[in-house]
């Protein structure tokens, strides 16, 4: 597979190089030089998930990882269920939260970990990443126990839910967690400083594992095919897919699936009040406002960094711009949508509810709707219990960590402290 830097056409790399580097020169995103158009869609849809996903990724990535390696990677990474559940006569949901950390980020995180561990070929790597919740847990679980890869996760002390924190700070071994006395932005600033410090970047072989890594997106292409495969055949023709969006990686993956030939009539980019993209789609003006906090906090992003990839899909003619429609949902309607879903017998959480709200209002006669369920409702237990007025139970993944102690080390938001801590942690491992 060949990829090109969207900010510098002379910067071309292989899949392995793009995975190892993350971002290209001038902070440019890597984009496939060519997206293959598949002809045998019906036959692919008849295959089981793991087998089909291997075939899809093989078409995208090619042979560069070596014979049989991709099969191994996909089998290890995608070892949990991806069910489609019917909500009402015309609307279905794809549940992406049955992985070890109960959010769709498990797909990308696990696939990336398996790819990177093979690409690094035993050379030591340090993953340094800042999290506001879901990414940290997915990355920590995905890399837990992988030899020669150490993970350092920074999170803002007291600012993520206690359950979110327990999911990754109790693992230990090669997973090191740091509770920073500051907010998410100060954690991100510390990560940036580390990447700008050659002594740390080169000595510790830093990699960020963040959501702009191409391997994470390619993994996500696979579950859009799975969604269509589980729909009754007569429901596949006029399909509208609604994606709860923050950084827009998930929607990018859906559009790549469509470019490859997956039959989706149109996509909905559903956001919370951080509505840069819906406003842009209506006015043509890119005008990010200050980020505001909402109950769908994983989508509190006002400068989505995957958007240039969506523009490239449109500019290169893979996607007709009229097949992407954007709409924002405020807090009140998000809560209303959660209650409507509960009335239909389905317990959901704020992110999926945003997608459901826009979908149920834009679906036309004869169309079938599908929204992505991006996280398990128990991950947002307090909000869900408050809005629905009833207790919800914890799945085993959360119940088993509730009583365990956090192993996180507390640090001030000081780069010198972080650097000393990392050098001490990793001194024998490079």
List residues binding ligand PLP (CB under 6 A). Answer: 103, 105, 134, 211, 244-250, 298-299, 351, 374-375
Nearest to 161 by CA among 9, 385, 383, 375: 383
96 near 84, Cβ under 8 Å? no
Compute the distance between CA of residue 151 and CA of residue 237 in angstroms, rounded to an integer: 44
Closest separation in Å from C-beta 327 to ligand PLP: 14
Q: Which is nearer to ligand PLP, 351 or 381 (CB)?
A: 351
Q: Which is nearer to ligand PLP, 211 or 215 (CB)?
A: 211
**Quick count: other Cβ atoms within 10 Å of Cβ 232?**
9
Compute the distance between CA of residue 61 and CA of residue 1 in angstroms, rounded to an integer: 5
Judged on CB neighbours under 10 Å (0-12, 13-18, 19+), 21 is middle
Q: Which is nearer to ligand PLP, 45 or 298 (CB)?
A: 298
Closest separation in Å from C-beta 103 to ligand PLP: 5
Separation of CA 248 from chain center? 9
Closest separation in Å from C-beta 138 to ligand PLP: 8
Give, rounded to a whole angstrom, the gap between the first and last alpha carbons of the chain.
Answer: 30
Q: Which is nearer to ligand PLP, 246 or 308 (CB)?
A: 246
Within 207-349, residue ranges assigned H as helices are 214-230, 249-259, 276-283, 307-315, 331-343
Closest separation in Å from C-beta 75 to ligand PLP: 24
Helix, coil or strand: residue 337: helix
Closest separation in Å from C-beta 380 to ligand PLP: 8
C-alpha distance from residue 167 to each of 139, 180, 203 (Å): 11, 17, 29
Rounded-to-10 torsion of CA 331, 332, 337, 339: 120
Q: Which is nearer to ligand PLP, 132 or 174 (CB)?
A: 132
Closest separation in Å from C-beta 244 to ligand PLP: 5
Q: Which is nearer to ligand PLP, 74 or 353 (CB)?
A: 353
**Angle at CA 48, nearest 5°, toward 75 and 211?**
50
Closest separation in Å from C-beta 280 to ligand PLP: 15
Q: Which is nearer to ligand PLP, 179 or 354 (CB)?
A: 354
Q: Which is nearer to ligand PLP, 31 or 411 (CB)?
A: 31
Q: Which is nearer to ligand PLP, 167 or 413 (CB)?
A: 167
Closest separation in Å from C-beta 68 to ligand PLP: 30
Strands 149-156 and 206-207: unpaired
Strands 30-32 and 8-14: unpaired
Q: Which is nearer to ligand PLP, 105 or 205 (CB)?
A: 105
Closest separation in Å from C-beta 299 to ligand PLP: 5
Quick one: tokens of 349?
């959480």
Task: Extract long-range pairs of 417-422: CB within 8 Å, 24+ residues apart.
Answer: 418/154, 418/178, 418/190, 418/193, 418/194, 419/194, 419/197, 419/200, 421/178, 422/126, 422/128, 422/152, 422/194, 422/200, 422/204
Quick one: tokens of 202?
């080169």
Compute the distance between CA of residue 394 and CA of residue 383 in angstroms, rounded to an integer: 14
Closest separation in Å from C-beta 114 to ligand PLP: 20
Name residue, tokens 């389905």.
346
């Amino acid at each position: 597979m060949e990829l090109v830097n969207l900010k510098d056409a002379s910067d071309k790399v292989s899949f392995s190089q793009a995975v190892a580097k993350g971002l290209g020169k001038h902070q440019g995103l890597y984009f496939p030089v060519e997206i293959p158009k598949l002809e045998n869609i019906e036959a692919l849809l008849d295959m089981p998930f793991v087998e089909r996903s291997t075939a899809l990724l093989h078409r995208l990535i090619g042979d560069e990882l070596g014979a049989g390696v991709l099969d191994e990677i996909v089998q290890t990474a995608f070892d949990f269920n991806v069910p489609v559940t019917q909500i009402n006569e015309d609307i279905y949901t794809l549940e992406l939260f049955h992985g070890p950390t109960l959010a769709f980020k498990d797909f990308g995180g696990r696939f990336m970990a398996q790819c990177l561990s093979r690409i690094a070929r035993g050379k030591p790597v340090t993953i340094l990443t800042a999290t506001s919740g879901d990414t940290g847990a997915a990355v920590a679980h995905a890399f837990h126990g992988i030899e020669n890869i150490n993970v350092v996760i920074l999170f803002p002390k007291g600012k993520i839910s206690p359950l979110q924190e327990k999911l990754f700070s109790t693992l230990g071994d090669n997973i090191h967690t740091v509770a920073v006395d500051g907010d998410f932005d100060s954690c991100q600033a510390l990560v940036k400083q580390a990447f700008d410090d050659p002594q740390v970047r080169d000595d510790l072989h830093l990699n960020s594992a963040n959501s702009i890594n191409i391997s994470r997106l390619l993994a996500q292409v696979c579950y859009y095919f799975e969604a269509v495969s589980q729909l009754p055949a007569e429901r596949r023709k006029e399909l509208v897919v609604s994606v709860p969006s923050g950084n827009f990686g998930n929607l990018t993956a859906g559009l790549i699936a469509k470019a490859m030939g997956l039959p989706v009539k149109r996509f909905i980019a559903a956001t919370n009040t951080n509505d840069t993209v819906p406003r842009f789609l209506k006015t043509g003006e890119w005008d990010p406002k200050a980020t505001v906090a909402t109950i769908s906090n994983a989508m509190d992003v006002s400068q989505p960094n995957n958007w240039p990839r969506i523009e490239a899909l449109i500019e290169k003619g893979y996607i007709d711009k009229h097949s992407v429609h954007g709409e924002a949902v405020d807090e009140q309607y998000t809560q209303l949508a959660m209650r409507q879903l509960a009335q239909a017998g389905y317990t959901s959480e704020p992110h999926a509810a945003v997608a459901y709200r826009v979908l149920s209002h834009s679906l036309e006669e004869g169309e079938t709707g599908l929204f992505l369920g991006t996280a398990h409702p128990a991950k947002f237990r307090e909000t869900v219990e408050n809005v629905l007025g009833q207790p919800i139970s914890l799945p085993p993944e959360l119940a088993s960590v509730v009583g365990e102690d956090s192993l996180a080390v507390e640090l001030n938001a000081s780069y010198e402290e972080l650097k000393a801590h990392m050098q001490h942690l990793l001194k024998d491992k490079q």
